[in-house]
Amino acid sequence: MGKAVIRSKEVDAYIAAQPPKTRQALEDLRSCIWKAAPGVRELMNYNIPAFALVDGGKRDKQIMIAGYAQHVGFYPSPEVIDAFADQLVGYKFAKGSVQLPLSKSIPKALVVKMVKYRLSQLQK
């Protein structure tokens, strides 16, 4: 067995407080992050859910997610966005973030690949 995810009651509460579609999208993102990064530690940072990819990982070593009315935000880091820009065509994205619209299902395989890529960068 790999390391267990360290869940956060604050992250649970944040997700539970969202409207149903947003809540489902956040749960999908959360499970993708757990799948890609066993042993990840959840916390709240900037009042949104964050996932520390390494022990004691600060903002630059975290992936963050957030819920909005029409989309969920996925914040894997500028390096990950650059590396996957060609696969993000069709989504709004910026330096370190991607907007995943609630009208589409979460691209789970892509999210897992992006998280694994970020994890591999941090383990060098």
Q: What is the pLDDT of residues 70-113, one digit of tens each?
A: 999 999 999 999 999 999 999 999 999 999 999 999 999 999 99
What's the CA gap between 98 and 65, in Å, rounded?
10
Identity of the residue numbered 60: D
pLDDT band at 55 (very low <50, low <70, confident <90, very high): confident
Q: What is the pTM of this model?
A: 0.93
**pLDDT above 50: residue 34:** yes
Angle, alpha carbons 23-24-26 (nearest 5°): 65
pLDDT band at 59 (very low <50, low <70, confident <90, very high): confident
Q: Both tokens of residue 111?
A: 């999210």
What's the CA gap between 102 and 120, in Å, rounded?
29
Identity of the residue numbered 93: F
Domains of the chain with bracketed CATH: 9-119 (3.90.1150.200)
